[in-house]
Structure 1
Amino acid sequence: MSDAEAALGAELGAVRPDLALPYAAALPGARAAVLARLWRGLTHEPLPWVARRERAGGDGVTLLLADGRRLHGPEVDPYATDAPVEQVWLDGRPYDRPARLMSALAVPHSAAFAAELDHSAASLALSRAGQPAGAGSVVAAPERSWEWEQSVVDGHPFHPNCRSRPGFSAADQLAYGPEHRQVVPLGLAPVDEALVVGEWPERFQDGGRVLVPVHPWQAAHVLKCPPGEVIDAHPLMSLRTLALADGGAHVKTALSARLTSSVRDISGYSIETSAIVSDFMAEVASRTDGLLHVTRTLGAVTAGSPDLAAVLRESPERYADTATGERVVPVAALAATGLPGSPSWLADFSRLALTVCLRLLDLGVALEAHGQNLLVVLSPAGAPVRLVYRDLADIRVSPARLARHGVAAPAMTGRIITDDETTLRRKLFGALITGTLGATAGSTPVLREALAAAVRDVPPTADLATLTEGPVPTKALTLMRLSPERPGDLWAELPTPLR
């Protein structure tokens, strides 16, 4: 075992000795899953130290590095989600562990990234070991949307840091990771001075003070304070957002830990603009003939720090008629339903997603419609009937496009507002094609069949050529982790699956 694997295993032996053997057994598969994500990034992203890539039919792909070394491995389908990579070869030497490969590459910032990869593989093994019948299993048929979210075991389908949770012990992961299905006690921190936007419920007030919901990890490791009064909540896919156990709103908490790529605090900008963006998006969604709903922001609060803030928003279940048997399922959890195995279902879902998202983009709103933010409402028979979108903090809004349709832009400035065509298309297609449709299809051939059936019925727009002609933008997730000096998103280009 590596240092990270051994350390997590030792902690596990102390808190859950019954999982020690399943954890050790899960390590090889977890390493191969993380190596597959890393190898996808190495073969498809614009890394400055890769001079050339050579593909030799069925013999895989060779990366010629700027320093003369050769890195060889299997050919990688950029839209594949279930193709583990057992090993790759650097100058003829095999590597089956992603962290050791990254250390051997010895490129700028590789040491820090190697540590993250090591932790990602160890944490993924722990996530898989904690399942009652193997990775991806569901304890019982889910009834609530938060139960569907907890069926996602492996995390991000393409990010090498799919399960990297630095700073989380084995006990922390078992207590707070949604895949372990525990109830999390959120603290309620009283603050005397706070910026409150929207309606803040009385249950989160104490006289003249505001009670800010605080994640217990944040209370212990960042705020260094006891949680105080607590309320129970179910952790959702993002880990920092939870569904209140009494069936009320979802609460997004600040969590100042690096998960996959980002530190999960809540900026003052997000709090200040939350009501404006929520009201604007509710009006825009009303123009989709009932095909899209957004979970409105009910209230937001900050105590003057991104480390102590929270957002309350509607539950997606509000937009499904559960009494008739409708279900609302996050896209990332669709595999647990078994529905994507049907080509006709996947074509119907692709048609719905493309129709809604392209209509909004033409109107002037680019959604970040990846598998975590986008949910689909299923009929009692399992047909995709409409979409629900949540977490409005990272959409992009074009005043120029809105003006062409006679729609007033929201009264705000900042990073959400842009008329740059490249930025708008990257925001949508970088999430929708790879993170939603590609991850649901699981391979280029399956995705091609679904998209070919869907695009025939999608109203043509100027943006559609990004999909039909390509290239398709996608986040360069590996490059981003190797470029800490370059804040913000970095991008790669993939061939369109339609060609």
Structure 2
Amino acid sequence: MDRLLLGPHAPEPHASDPHAGPAEEAALGALLRCWLREVGGPRGHVRAVGPHLTLRVAGTPVRVRARGGIALRFDGPPEHLVTGEGAEGRWRPLNLPALVALLERELDGGNEEFAAQVRAGREAIAAILAARERSVPPADPWLASEQALVAGHPFHPAPKAHGGDGWLDYAPETHARFAPRLLGVRADLVAQEGDTAALDAFGGAPAGYLPLPAHPWQLDLLAADLRGPLADGRLVDLGPGPRAVVPTSSVRTVYDPGTGMCLKFSLNVRITNCVRKNAWYELSGAVELTRRLSPVFDRLARRFPGTRWLPEPGYRSAALGTRLLEGLGVIVRTGPWGVCGPGTTPVLAAALAAGADGVPRAVLARRAADPVAWWEAYVERVAYPVLDAFFRHGVVLEAHVQNVLVGFDAAGWPVEAVFRDLEGTKLVAGRHDLTGLPGEVAAPLSYDAAGGWNRVAYCLFVNHLAEVAATVAGTVDDVLRALWAAARATLSRYVEDHAAGPAEPLTRLLAGAPLPAKANLGVRWARAADRTAGYVPVPNPLAQPGPRVIGGQTGVETLTEVCGERG
């Protein structure tokens, strides 16, 4: 008899569901990666034994084959050692309910909210896979890459879990398209700043009103709050908009083919760690940052040709109390086709990290033919402007894989990097004059220098470069080592040629200091806000080859040898 107590969690996936297996594999892999990074490694519970990582979760032996360095790509199913009557110490496949139960024991208690989110993530992946079989991907190669992220964040315990109902109709992974609902806002109640011409292009409104596109899912979520304003004429419902928009990877941001612009809607829904509404101070903050960053990106583009960004020049909402001001707020964002050069195709970095789906064939062919040269060009295009923004300009770019588009030429070479989403962009405190801004707007725009560097290092190296490198290398450990050696050389050139003043945090990384990785499991387990998420140290693949002590923690030392050296 299996001695694991599974508890009252999700049943096994139905064998009749053809998507249950892939969904289970994706959800199990994400949760196990989180455990390895945030709990097992720091506690010293992970060792390399032959081709496997072996670990103990709540005292139970678990093993899995891993490659990809700190990206932790698994080859084959994880297994646990089953003991007890008649079991004879046999290794058997580990399933998601069993892993959740073990984690609860390891972390000293049950957490039904956490378990429910993990189950919901698995069910969402199965639903996405089924829907994709009935859908047609977009012809636009950039949008195809935006809609390719079936499994989601590889280091989140429930990457595809959504709050609310009806999400499948609006999910980018299902190749959804939908018409926004058009509201009219009485002119004296319009709240807006900046350039909002893209919103006016969605259609006219009656005299005395301005048009406001709205996400249909959000209108369902806010139905009770909208009854009064719709009944007394402060708002009018003008019906579906004149054309369909296409959701991008963040779910709530859509592309409007009619104007070539993007619209960032509010959604009162938790996706990964955050409820995805546009806070009132973020509405004003987007316009303020667009104004401040324009000269910064001009200078970055001169220094590093091929650097692009997507400004957020305006927003519009309705001044009907904080809940509706935030809930109906729409931020206008420039579309990538408007900033990329002729002959350049933008591709979401997250699709490049995830595999081949949504990636143009020319890119796949060039990457396979000359992976190290392709990678050197990639690192230079992406990393140089991010580092220079921080060291020279005091700007923190959140360059994780969902916030960066990489522009490729017809031969598949990376020639541009496009940075987006000003919600995560911050200014280093003390290096920018924020006087004159309301305190509630100014405070969220800043990080202190140490917090800003942690965010840069995590997003750029751990979330982005490590994941793309693992995909480029595939199953070949020697290629992965060559990629990181090339990255180290490329970044060393940046320090020599471009760094403005001391670049001490980067030189420490090049010397082998550990990298900070965001603790997504920890923040979800604690039911805490995303802004409270901490970091855990992970092995640094930029370090020179050879075992080394990192951080004085046995678990981290072990993972350095396992994931940093063996690949």
* TM, length-normalised to structure 2: 0.74
Cα pair 1:277 1:410 within 8 Å, conserved: no
Q: What SS class does the counterpart of residue 30 from structure 1 fall into?
A: helix
Shift of 1:482: 0.6
User: Equivalent of 2:161, from 157, 161, 164?
Assistant: 164
Identity of aligned residues (%): 23
**How far is the alpha carbon of 1:132 from its aligned partner?**
4.5
Give the match's secondary structure for 1:458.
helix
Task: Specify whether residues 74 and 345 from structure 1 end up closer, same or farther in structure 2 by C-alpha distance, changes over 3 A only.
Answer: same
- Residues 1:281 and 1:46: Cα distance change in structure 2 (over 3 Å): farther
Q: Deviations over 1:202-259 (max 9, x none)?
A: 3356333333322111112333567833242011111110001314310011111111
Q: CA deviation at 1:493?
A: 1.4
Q: For residues 55 and 125 of structure 2, what CA distance do their matches in structure 1 show?
A: 28
On the 8 A contact 1:234/1:244 being kept in 2, the answer is yes
1:436 aligns with 2:446: no
1:253 corresponds to which residue? Answer: 265
Distance 1:138-1:331 versus aligned 2 partners, 3 A rule? farther
What is the Cα deviation at residue 94 of structure 1? Answer: 5.5
Q: Which residue of 2 aligns with 1:482?
A: 525
Give the C-alpha shift of residue 54 in structure 1.
Answer: 4.0
- With over 3 angstroms needed to count, the CA separation of the structure-2 counterparts of 1:235 and 1:84, relative to structure 1, is farther
Q: Deviations over 1:53-95 (max 9, x none)?
A: 2414335232364xxx345232655533642662343875966
Return closer, same or farther for 1:449/1:330 CA change in 2, 3 Å cut-off: same
Contact 1:197 1:301 in 2 (8 A): yes
Letter in 1 for 2:340: A
Superposition pairs for residues 220-239 of structure 1, below 5 Å? 220-224=220-224, 228-230=239-241, 231-239=243-251
Corresponding residue for residue 213 of structure 1:
213
Cα distance in 1 between the residues matched to 2:35 and 2:238: 43
Q: Could you list the per-position Cα deviations for residues 144-199 of structure 1 after superposition, in whole angstroms to 9, with x for gaps in the alignment?
A: 52232123332223323222123234xx41x2111221211211233332320112
Inter-CA distance 410–162: structure 2 relative to 1 (3 Å threshold):
farther
Does residue 274 in structure 1 map to residue 286 in structure 2?
Answer: yes
Asked whether the equivalents of residues 40 and 56 of structure 2 are also in contact (C-alpha less than 8 Å), the reply is no
Question: Residues 127 and 467 of structure 1: is their aligned pair in 2 closer, same or farther, counting only changes over 3 Å?
Answer: farther
Counterpart of 2:100?
A: 102
Instruction: Give the SS at the match of 2:36.
Output: helix
1:31 to 24, 49, 55: 24
Aligned residue type for 2:422: L
**1:117 corresponds to which letter in structure 2?**
V
**What is residue 191 of structure 2 aligned with on the other side?**
195
On the 8 A contact 2:311/2:334 being kept in 1, the answer is: yes
Q: How does 1:146-185 map to 2 (within 5 A)?
A: 146-169=143-166, 172-173=167-168, 175-185=169-179
What one-letter code is carried by the residue in structure 2 that aligns with 1:80?
Answer: A
Over alpha carbons, which structure has the higher Rg? 2
**Aligned amino acid, residue 168 of structure 1:** D
Using the alignment, how far apart are the partners of 1:435 and 1:343 within structure 2? 20
1:313-351: CA deviations, max 9, x gaps? Answer: 1101111234xx211111112242325442221221012
Q: Which amino acid aligns with 1:495?
A: P
| TM-score normalised over the length of structure 1 | 0.84
Distance 1:101 1:95, change over 3 A: farther
Is the CA contact (8 Å cut-off) linking 1:43 and 1:76 kept in structure 2?
Answer: no
Contact 1:119 1:166 in 2 (8 A): no
Q: Secondary structure at the match of 1:296?
A: coil
Kindly provide the amino acid, as one letter, of the partner of residue 190 in structure 2.
Answer: A
Q: Is the 1:62–1:73 contact (alpha carbons within 8 Å) kept by the matching residues of 2?
A: yes
1:457 aligns with 2:458: no
| 486-495 or 225-234: bigger deviation | 225-234
Cα separation, 1, equivalents of 2:38 and 2:388? 29
Aligned partners of 1:64 and 1:242: how far apart in 2? Answer: 41
1:346-385 deviation per Cα after TM superposition (whole angstroms, max 9, x unaligned): 2210122221111111020111101111111212222212
Write out per-residue CA displacement over residues 264-298 of structure 1, whole angstroms, 9 at most, x where no aligned residue: 11101111222110111111111111432221113
**2:34 aligned partner:** 41
Seen in structure 2, the aligned counterparts of structure 1 residues 315 and 6 have a Cα distance that, compared at 3 Å, is: farther
Instruction: Please state if 1:491 is matched with 2:520.
Output: no
- Residues 1:209 and 1:90: Cα distance change in structure 2 (over 3 Å): farther
Sort the Cα spacing of 1:453 and 1:26 in 2 relative to 1 into closer, same or farther, 3 A.
farther
| Conserved? CA contact 2:286–2:313, under 8 Å | no
Aligned pair 1:307/2:333, yes or no? no
Distance in 1, Cα, partners of 2:39 & 2:66: 15
The CA distance in 1 between the partners of 2:158 and 2:29, in whole Å, is 11
AA of the residue aligned to 2:306: L
The match for 1:145 among 142, 145, 167 is 142
User: Who is 2:45 aligned against?
Assistant: 53
Looking at structure 2, the residues matched to 81 and 105 of structure 1 have their Cα atoms a distance apart, in angstroms, of 19
The one of 288, 305, 310 aligned to 1:295: 310
Give the RMSD, CA atoms, in angstroms: 3.1
Aligned partner of residue 255 in structure 1, secondary structure: coil
Would the aligned equivalents of 1:33 and 1:85 in 2 still touch at CA under 8 Å? no
Comparing 370-379 and 192-201, the one that deviates more: 192-201
Q: Distance in 2 between matches of 1:113 and 1:84?
A: 26
| Unpaired stretches in structure 2, ≥5 consecutive residues | 1-7, 84-90, 227-236, 497-502, 544-567
Hey, what's the Cα distance between the residues in 2 that align with 1:186 and 1:492? 41
* Contact 2:118/2:158, CA 8 A, preserved across alignment: yes
Report the Cα offset of residue 465 of structure 1: 2.7
Displacement after TM superposition at 1:41 (Å) = 1.3
Whether the 8 Å CA contact 2:70–2:538 is kept in 1: the answer is no
Give the residue type in structure 2 aligned to 1:423.
Answer: G
Contact 1:370 1:431 (C-alpha < 8 Å) held by counterparts: yes
> What is the rounded CA distance, in whole Å, between the counterparts of 2:11 and 2:313 in structure 1?
41
Residue of structure 2 in register with 1:112 after alignment: 113
Q: Deviations over 1:382-418 (max 9, x none)?
A: 221221111111112114346xxxxx66854212213
Partner of 1:80: 71
Partner SS for 1:394? coil
Offset at residue 486 of structure 1 (A): 5.8
Which of the numbers 361, 379, 388 marks the counterpart of 2:418? 388
- For the residue of structure 2 that corresponds to 1:332, the secondary structure is helix
Distance 1:314 1:486 in 2: 29
Please say which of residues 116-125 and 393-402 is displaced more in the overlay.
393-402
Q: 1:51 to 1:3 in 2, by over 3 A?
A: closer
